[in-house]
Chain A
């Protein structure tokens, strides 16, 4: 049985145009024309199922079959192209090696072979891409939560730097943003004032797919502005990436479906509003508008007080609570899956506690510890420029490799 949701080519190309810039490396796995054997088997199984379904559909409409068919056809198409390219390569190769081929034809074939090989490589990539299950939240807008980690006020200043970095990145790349929460420790949004917590909502579709690689601990190495002896400090800020479920009708339909990640039983949420103790009513003209939600089964607490409107705070708190719960449910399932796989292959886990990237001011470099990339335009990274895109691309590529490995492991397990 194939249970993972399948990526649709179109979605993926929207999610990350540059997702697959680097070619994938599979040293240890058997490959056939660049596609790991296990994946090819999987694709062929799907093609067979696709055929069965098509026939079934010809005899009468069935929504589920139609949906499955829609999910499979990109794979079947990709497989078709791959087969064709692979056939051509074989044909040309045998032509070249055939001693009866005349020399003129052979040199023509040699010319063609080069191009056909390139085609095969491209077809391999799209076949692999089509097979990798897309993250179930990838199409959603997302929330970026930024908080200072270890390192005192320098960490809080760095958290503010990350906040501006992501905002600039969003501005430069056409992502709409909203600020759900911004708390400097003194209530301003000036640069250099330590940040205590910020939540950016990236409202564009597919934002989760783009930003999910940013989750984790970001480390900074520099001489803090407050340091008088010129010593370099190491501090950190953490970034959480949550799916945003606001204003997404397809997701909101799932709000009432107890099976879905987005479902929250209203009865399990304690809503508290700040009110001055005492008589209330006309007797007081308080300004407290804070709202606190507690999801009792998971003890998840969300508090919002940014807006003067209690109503807006409540809405924002609900949105955040839904996102956090959906994310933690998803993480739990991912962890279970990872544990299952770990016996077969060491799948790198990308948890929220792991150090993912280092920003080094002294050497003006940024290193991502997952993809291993190091870039030198630190300023451009901090300004959310092309260099940051490059780092993020490399992490997405790395993630894709992990997914492919997982897929192969899964196939191997089936045997």
Chain B
């Protein structure tokens, strides 16, 4: 990092003795002034709260301490404990990724399209994988509810990190208090774990976790901002404050033997697309690092041949500049760096106001066929099966052995969905708080099957 010039430091010092220290993380004087103002406001609030409790606080020394923490690179959001995400104030805590404005812009744009939909299902299900603070579904909900009152949202946030889940739980409760509508739920699961591999970790594969929690296997919209930075980009492209203070788990996908740097960066996407297919999502929105990754993801989505349309969104997708559709009819929308990939199928097209898609039967058949592309679960027979699909499920399924495992699991889950719905109707609306924190339990695979264990304190 280039050094900050002496004249700038002197100028900053003349304005306020605290400013020079803040120039290191902020780089320019205006940004440093803003941060100093916010830090001061924070200190004032803290002091006021303490006074109300009868305590006193040396404001000067607290400010000095916070400024020096900030100067050493600690993100302001961790110091102040919050970040603004669209219209929402989201709680932040170290150990959980800070929500990014770019993510908010994509979510806002998605809801902007949905708000104008002629018809949305009265119960809309939103699945957010890698939820972190829970910011994505919370903004989605906020934006949709301020525009429409004919939809009831059911939200499920999934993360592998107990810290993230705890924070997301807090954020969801707060949001639910201020707008008690719909349902929100969180579960702990690992979205990259192969559901059929033996696992010894304590997080379950998503599908299994859904099943165990009695959650529905089908979701209308899938969103995800997964870890997407490759190891080499981690060192060259992220800022020091990100590397020094934000969890690597949230940024860089795990490494698997014999995969390239790029493949590691892309690790989540094939799994996320498979999940999208399994849950029969009508709309999928995945955040990406840059245009190259966006194009790779779009290509993969295309290869799955279940989607009616794919778009790449830039950082400001609301700005109406549209590059001519390139390969495979994928248009690139907006201004700035490429930031997300949007896919839709079936009814999703109408929800987004896109040209109409294929008929329901074709969609179901297509979905069924696509299992032939699955990397795991031998589906060669199922993919070419001449069966007539009905609804979204074959009437006479092939014998158990012939079915791809994914189908098998989905069917089990489907049964539990009915149970789940019944439970819902008994429980009425509200936040599902009768489940303990997900990290209180873990599952192990034993010779008797999966067993739920309570964690020892």
Instruction: Name the interface size band of chain A.
Output: 20 to 34
Are A287 and B77 also in contact (CB < 8 A) when A280-B102, A280-B336, A281-B339 are?
yes
Least CB distance, B232 to chain A, in whole angstroms = 13
- Complex-state Cα separation, A284 to B27, whole angstroms: 14
How many A-B contacts if CB must be within 8 Å?
Answer: 105
CB-based contact B237/A187 at 8 Å: no
Least CB distance, B260 to chain A, in whole angstroms = 20
In the complex, chain A residues 292-325 whose Cβ is within 8 Å of any chain B Cβ? 305-312
Least CB distance, B99 to chain A, in whole angstroms = 9
Query: B84 — nearest CB in chain A belongs to which residue?
Result: A309
CB-based contact B33/A187 at 8 Å: yes
Are A185 and B289 also in contact (CB < 8 A) when A281-B100, A285-B100 are?
no
Of B80, B83, B87, B287, which one neighbours A281 at CB under 8 angstroms?
B287
| Interface-central residue, A188, A285, A310, by most chain B CB under 10 Å | A285
- Complex-state Cα separation, A89 to B429, whole angstroms: 76
Interface check A3, CB cutoff 8 A: no
CB-based contact A284/B242 at 8 Å: yes
Are A188 and B77 also in contact (CB < 8 A) when A280-B336, A281-B100, A287-B31 are?
no
Interface check A63, CB cutoff 8 A: no
In the complex, chain A residues 256-288 whose Cβ is within 8 Å of any chain B Cβ? 273, 275, 278-288
- Complex-state Cα separation, A168 to B358, whole angstroms: 66
CB-based contact A187/B30 at 8 Å: no
Interface check A186, CB cutoff 8 A: yes
- Complex-state Cα separation, A329 to B320, whole angstroms: 29
Of A273, A283, A312, which one neighbours B289 at CB under 8 angstroms?
A283
- Complex-state Cα separation, A310 to B88, whole angstroms: 10
Interface check B392, CB cutoff 8 A: no
Interface check A289, CB cutoff 8 A: yes
Query: A185 — nearest CB in chain B belongs to which residue?
Result: B15
Interface check B241, CB cutoff 8 A: yes
- Of B36-44, B193-201, B272-280, B299-307, the one contacting chain A is B36-44
CB-based contact A285/B33 at 8 Å: no
Interface string of B16-36 (1 = CB under 8 A from A): 100100000010001101111
Interface check B238, CB cutoff 8 A: yes
Least CB distance, B17 to chain A, in whole angstroms = 9
CB-based contact B77/A285 at 8 Å: yes
CB-based contact B35/A280 at 8 Å: no
Tell me which residues across on chain B come within 8 A of A288, comparing CB atoms.
Answer: 31, 34
Give 18 pairs: A residue, B residue, CB < 8 Å, sorted on A: A186-B36, A187-B34, A187-B40, A188-B37, A279-B237, A280-B102, A281-B288, A281-B337, A283-B229, A283-B237, A283-B242, A285-B75, A285-B246, A287-B31, A287-B76, A305-B30, A306-B34, A310-B84
Binding site for A on B (CB under 8 A): 15-16, 19, 26, 30-31, 33-38, 40, 75-77, 80, 83-84, 86-87, 89, 97-98, 100-103, 225, 227-229, 233, 237-239, 241-242, 246, 250-251, 287-290, 315-316, 336-337, 339
Binding site for B on A (CB under 8 A): 185-188, 273, 275, 278-290, 305-312
